[in-house]
Amino acid sequence: MGKTKLKLEGAGERFSVRFPRWLADDLRRLVPPRKRSQVIVAGTAQMVSKLKQEAALRAGAGAWSDENHPELVTQEDVERYLKGLRASTQERFET
């Protein structure tokens, strides 16, 4: 587990959650009693973040079409575009 600290703000909200026996046993064995909520909240926050990202990707699916961007159809087109974009960024830093 990383050094990520999630501050539990105020009293928060209670949830009644059932854990599989093996997971509850591991949680009790590996996490001190006063740290369990923090571990559960951190894991839940990470999973919710992943679910939000997946939902955003699904919502954006099909937004791009080659018809709307004929200048970026081939890999070479994309590389040329990125090279120009990076060069313009570099120019701004140098001036």
Instruction: Please indicate, yes or no, if residue 6 is contained in any of the structural domains.
Output: no
Residues 55 and 70 in one domain: no
| Non-local CB neighbours of 66 within 8 Å, separated by 6+ positions | 72, 73
24 phi, psi to nearest 5 deg = -60, -40
Mean local confidence (pLDDT), 37-49: 95
Write out pLDDT tens, residues 70-95: 999 999 999 999 999 999 877 777 76
Residues 27 and 55 in one domain: yes
pTM, entire model: 0.62
Size of the chain in residues:
95
Cα gap 71→78, rounded to integer Å: 8
- Tokens 């939902």 — which residue? 55
The secondary structure of residue 74, as a DSSP letter, is S
Residues 94 and 75 in one domain: yes
Count of structural domains within the chain: 2
